[in-house]
């Protein structure tokens, strides 16, 4: 494709044709004059998602990357196009991972020459290009700074080089750091002359940081290396570099250990705990002269929850990974030509959807928490499982097989920020579309004034057996469970169901999953319907509670966003929100919350219709209100500028904030509290409008009153 523009054009046309087919087919389903089975609609949703994935992969991940590679590849080294692609792939992934931390970014490009002659030819090339003085200067950086170079000309038969690029800025926008690194790499002629040399092997990895230890500066930016003070006079000794997610809780004690034993100190410029990783590995290597053994010894001494990456010129064809503790994650993507690893699945899905997840929490020896953790070694001489070595922390091997390989449910399309400044804004503007997809195929309204209106839920959503239980009055209680935002969605759904089921003897209540499992569990729950609300379908507390109520004969439905997630296999029926794969990258959930509430409303209307507490007229009105919701949300979003003016005018006038609501708007108040707390790091009070006196009014908080949707009399009271 790189050299064949005609092939690239044909591929783009194919991607466009796939999208056109998907769009036309979707319109046929939406415009059907008769209600379609929800399993057919759901199957189409799944197929439509895959079609959009394929088109996106062709146009963005393949063809789009060709353009991005050309942006950094200088004209004078066309032979380095593969290495330019590797660098581009890593930077693309870091662009996605920045959402987890972006105060600094570093990338390591290491290469091993096939022979001494190849390295000598490189040196001659940069001399002719007038770059010898710059090369020598960059070799002498005492700490691993931006544009520094490390040379190892002694450890192996042929030399190795490591090029480092770093950027650090406490305040900035997503994408700024990656853009700065791209510019530095493109302008580095020494790097490209090295990559253009004959028969060089390369290894590229990067780290974006959210500082937990150490100030935000270039010195603390990862990668960090083994150099200590007093500095060595050698500029061509071996190097060891590493990066860390998490915290090495005992790094100060370990640094003191190295100082007392060898008289070597970490530079005061470097205050990140990550520095102890290559330093301690080097400490043990100088004693055992075995990098693998040194890495194992060091990892076993680290206390805390850590995910570690380490590479060295001592073994240029290998990369060491370690995961220890439950607070971090690490994934290894299996590619046909090598490996890609990341701390999140979306950091590798551009290259592959097949991966292995490291386990840092399970105790290898039960009852011995220090035995929890794993070490993997990646070898560039093989691919797939053949190039992986896996171990427990005590060195005992882990047998890997196909059963260890997982398939990613997402693609880069799910995590594309588009033209928005950040993911939260994008996801807020996605809300109308998410609601439309949630409603798609799940209702039927005859096109006449008082025609039939009904909720259209198939047995895979609302099982026939459950419908019969309601008709025969065998369900006396409905409990909405969830955690966090999903629990608040449950409160909103319960409020609606209480109104819709008024006149029946069915109790409807929302309760946190942990509260139900911990304090409200009954021996026999055969007359209870549990509706579990979850965005990911993997919330541990919710899933554990579902297991407990199932064991007590409760019926269980799920409102969930992720198709084939753990929760979907534990329940009797599943109501998917959106298209069953509507990823939220922002910590603050938005579109998922709205879609969960809409899905719950559909379930409530379906139950009310079954037991006869509402008639066709009410169902028609409620469905029409739900159908108008996307446009109403869009109309609010059109006032973005006015909202910003109000926020700037009032939000900063008070140190303390409070949110109040009544009836259904109390759930809105609770959700606003969660959103503002997550986004602004503020402790925010919430209460019923009538009980606002319980809020500490002495603090004179800025009070947001939620009134949308209240009856006229309640609205007048709220204003008063």
pLDDT for 171 beyond 80: no
Percentage of the chain modeled with pLDDT above 90: 75
Q: Say whether 568 sits in a helix, a strand or coil.
A: helix
Same-domain status, 494 and 567: yes
pLDDT average, residue stretch 269-282: 96
Q: Which CA distances in Å does 659 have to 371, 482, 672, 679, 697?
A: 47, 22, 7, 15, 12
Q: What is the DSSP string of 639-700?
A: THHHHHHHHHHHGGG-S-EEEEE-THHHHHHHHHHHHHHHHH----EEEEGGGGGGS-GGG-
If asked whether residues 228 and 202 sit together in one domain, one would say: yes
Give the residue-averaged pLDDT of 112-128.
Answer: 95
Contact 294, 285 (CB under 8 A): yes
CA distance 109 to 115: 19
Shared domain check, 87 and 47:
no
CATH code for position 78: 3.60.20
Each residue of 398-445: pLDDT tens digit? Answer: 999 999 999 998 899 988 988 998 899 999 999 999 999 999 989 988
What is the rounded radius of gyration, in angstroms, for the C-alpha atoms of the chain? 29
Predicted local distance difference test score (pLDDT) of residue 101: 73
Q: What pTM value is reported for the model?
A: 0.84
Q: Give per-residue pLDDT as tens, 18-38.
A: 999 999 988 888 777 777 888
Ramachandran category for residue 521: left, alpha or beta (phi over 0 → left; psi -120 to 50 → alpha): beta
Write the pLDDT tens digit of every residue in 515-568: 999 999 999 999 999 999 999 898 889 999 999 999 999 999 999 998 888 899
Q: Indicate the pLDDT class of residue 240, thresholds 50, 70 and 90.
A: very high
Q: Which of 316, 347, 363 is the last residue of a domain?
A: 316
What is the pLDDT, as a whole number, of residue 691?
A: 85
Whether residues 56 and 80 fall in one domain:
no
What residues make up the domain containing 464? 423-633
Q: Helix, strand, coil: what percent of the chain each, to 5? A: 45, 20, 35
Cβ pair 116, 157 in contact under 8 A? yes
Position 366 in a domain: no
pLDDT for res 718: 80
Residue 600 is assigned to a structural domain of this protein: yes
pLDDT of residue 565: 87
Do 28 and 105 fall within a single domain?
no
Report the pLDDT value the prediction gives residue 45, as an integer from 0 to 100: 85
Confirm if 227 and 143 have CB atoms less than 8 A apart: yes
pLDDT of residue 193: 97
For residue 199, name the pLDDT band (cuts at 50, 70, 90).
confident
| pLDDT at res. 627 | 96
Mean pLDDT across 692-705: 78
pLDDT on residue 575: 96
Based on the domain organization, do 85 and 185 belong to the same domain?
yes
Q: Are residues 84 and 52 in the same domain?
A: no
Tell me 33's DSSP state: S
For residue 234, pLDDT beyond 70? no
| Beta strand pairing call for 318-324 and 306-312 | antiparallel
- Please, how many CA atoms are within 13 Å of residue 246, restricted to the half-sphere of its CB? 24
- Tokens for 182? 């791209």
Same structural domain for residues 82 and 56? no
Which whole number is the average pLDDT over 241-255?
Answer: 95
In this prediction, residue 231 carries a pLDDT of 77
Q: How many domains are there within the chain? A: 4
Question: Residue 235's pLDDT is what?
Answer: 62
Q: Residue 126 — very low, low, confident or very high, per pLDDT cuts 50/70/90?
A: very high
- The answer to whether residues 17 and 123 belong to one domain is no
pLDDT in tens, 609-650: 999 999 999 999 999 999 999 999 999 999 999 999 999 999
Strands in 702-706's sheet, in edge-to-edge order, are 685-688, 657-661, 702-706
Q: Is residue 185 part of a domain?
A: yes
pLDDT of residue 80 exceeding 70: yes
- Give the pLDDT band (50/70/90) at residue 211: low
**451: its two tokens:** 């025609």
Residue 134: pLDDT above 90? yes
Structure confidence at residue 269 (pLDDT): 93
The model's pLDDT over 482-520, given as tens digits with 9 standing for 90+, comes to 999 999 999 999 999 999 999 999 999 999 999 999 999
**Whether pLDDT at 393 is above 90:** yes
Helix (H, G, I), strand (E, B) or coil at 281: helix
According to the model, what pLDDT value does residue 142 have?
79
Q: Where are the alpha helices (DSSP H) in 140-275?
A: 176-187, 189-195, 251-262
* Domain-embedded: residue 400: no
Q: Is residue 376 part of a domain?
A: no
Check whether residue 41 and residue 164 sit in a common domain. no
- Does 324 map to a domain? no
Share of the chain above pLDDT 70, in %: 98
Are residues 687 and 708 part of one domain? Answer: yes
Residue 628: inside a domain = yes
pLDDT interval class at 175 (50, 70, 90): confident
Q: How many residues would you count in the chain? A: 720
In CATH, what number is assigned to the domain containing residue 470?
3.40.50.10490
Q: Over the chain, what is the mean pLDDT? A: 92
Q: Which two tokens stand for residue 597?
A: 């509430």
Is 326 part of a structural domain of the chain? no
pLDDT on residue 174 = 82
Average pLDDT over residues 330-348: 93
* Domain shared by 82 and 230, yes or no: yes
């Amino acid at each position: 494709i790189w050299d064949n523009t005609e092939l690239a054009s044909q591929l783009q046309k194919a991607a466009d044709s796939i999208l056109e087919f998907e769009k036309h087919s979707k319109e046929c389903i939406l415009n059907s004059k008769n209600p379609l089975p929800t399993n057919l609609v759901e199957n189409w949703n799944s197929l439509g998602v895959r079609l959009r994935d394929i088109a996106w992969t062709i146009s963005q991940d393949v063809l789009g990357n060709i353009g991005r590679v050309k942006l950094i590849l200088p004209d004078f080294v066309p032979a380095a196009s593969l290495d330019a692609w590797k660098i581009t792939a890593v930077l693309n992934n870091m662009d996605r991972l920045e959402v987890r931390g972006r105060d600094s970014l570093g990338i390591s490009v290491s290469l091993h020459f096939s022979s001494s002659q190849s390295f000598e030819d490189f040196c001659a090339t940069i001399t002719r290009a007038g770059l010898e003085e710059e090369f020598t200067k960059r070799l002498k950086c005492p700490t691993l700074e931006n544009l520094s170079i490390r040379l190892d000309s002694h450890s192996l038969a042929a030399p190795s080089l490591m090029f480092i690029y770093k950027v650090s800025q406490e305040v900035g926008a997503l994408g700024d750091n990656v853009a700065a690194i791209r510019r530095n790499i493109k302008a580095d002629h020494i790097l490209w002359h090295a990559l253009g040399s004959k028969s060089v092997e390369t290894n590229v990895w990067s780290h974006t940081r959210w500082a937990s230890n150490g100030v935000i500066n270039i010195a603390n930016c990862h990668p960090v290396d083994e150099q200590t003070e007093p500095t060595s006079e050698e500029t061509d000794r071996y190097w060891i570099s590493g990066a860390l997610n998490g915290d090495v809780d005992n790094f100060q004690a370990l640094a003191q250990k190295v100082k007392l034993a060898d008289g070597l100190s970490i530079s005061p410029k470097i205050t990140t705990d990550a520095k102890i990783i290559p330093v301690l590995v080097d400490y043990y290597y100088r004693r055992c002269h075995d990098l693998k053994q040194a890495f194992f010894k060091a990892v076993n001494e680290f206390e805390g929850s850590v995910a570690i990456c380490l590479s060295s010129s001592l073994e240029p064809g290998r990369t060491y990974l370690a995961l220890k503790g439950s607070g971090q994650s690490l994934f290894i993507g299996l590619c046909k030509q090598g490996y890609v690893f990341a701390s999140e699945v979306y950091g590798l899905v551009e290259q592959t959807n097949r991966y292995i997840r490291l386990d840092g929490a399970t105790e290898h020896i039960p009852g011995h928490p220090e035995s929890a953790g794993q070490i993997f070694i990646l070898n560039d001489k093989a691919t797939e499982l053949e190039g992986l070595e896996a171990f427990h922390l005590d060195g005992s091997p882990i047998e890997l097989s196909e059963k260890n390989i997982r398939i990613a449910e997402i693609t880069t399309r799910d995590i594309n920020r588009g033209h928005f400044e950040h993911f939260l804004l994008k996801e807020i503007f996605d809300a109308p579309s998410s609601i439309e997809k949630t409603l798609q195929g799940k209702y039927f309204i005859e096109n006449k004034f008082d025609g039939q209106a009904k909720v259209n839920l198939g047995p895979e959503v609302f099982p026939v057996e459950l419908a019969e239980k309601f008709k025969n009055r065998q369900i006396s209680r409905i409990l909405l469970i969830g955690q966090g935002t999903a629990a608040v969605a449950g409160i909103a759904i319960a409020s609606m169901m209480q109104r819709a089921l008024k006149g029946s003897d069915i109790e409807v209540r929302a309760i946190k999953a942990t509260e139900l499992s911990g304090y409200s569990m009954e021996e026999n729950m055969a007359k209870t319907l549990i509706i579990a609300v979850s965005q990911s379908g993997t919330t541990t507390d919710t899933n554990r509670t579902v297991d407990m109520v199932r064991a007590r004969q409760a019926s269980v439905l799920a409102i969930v966003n992720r198709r084939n997630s753990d929760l979907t296999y534990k329940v009797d029926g599943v109501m998917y929100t959106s298209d069953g794969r509507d990823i939220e990258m922002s910590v603050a959930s938005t579109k998922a919350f709205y879609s969960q509430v809409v899905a719950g409303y559909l379930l409530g209307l379906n139950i009310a219709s079954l037991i006869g507490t509402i008639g066709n007229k009410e169902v028609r009105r409620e469905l029409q209100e739900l159908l108008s919701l996307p446009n109403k949300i869009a109309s609010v979003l059109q006032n973005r500028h006015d909202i910003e003016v109000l926020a700037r005018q009032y939000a900063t006038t008070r140190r303390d904030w409070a949110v109040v609501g009544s009836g259904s708007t109390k759930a809105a108040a609770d959700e606003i509290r969660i959103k503002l707390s997550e986004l602004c790091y503020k402790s925010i009070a919430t209460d019923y409008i009538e009980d606002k006196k319980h809020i500490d009014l002495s603090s004179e908080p800025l009070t947001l009153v939620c009134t949308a949707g209240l009856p006229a009399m309640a609205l007048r009271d709220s204003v008063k």
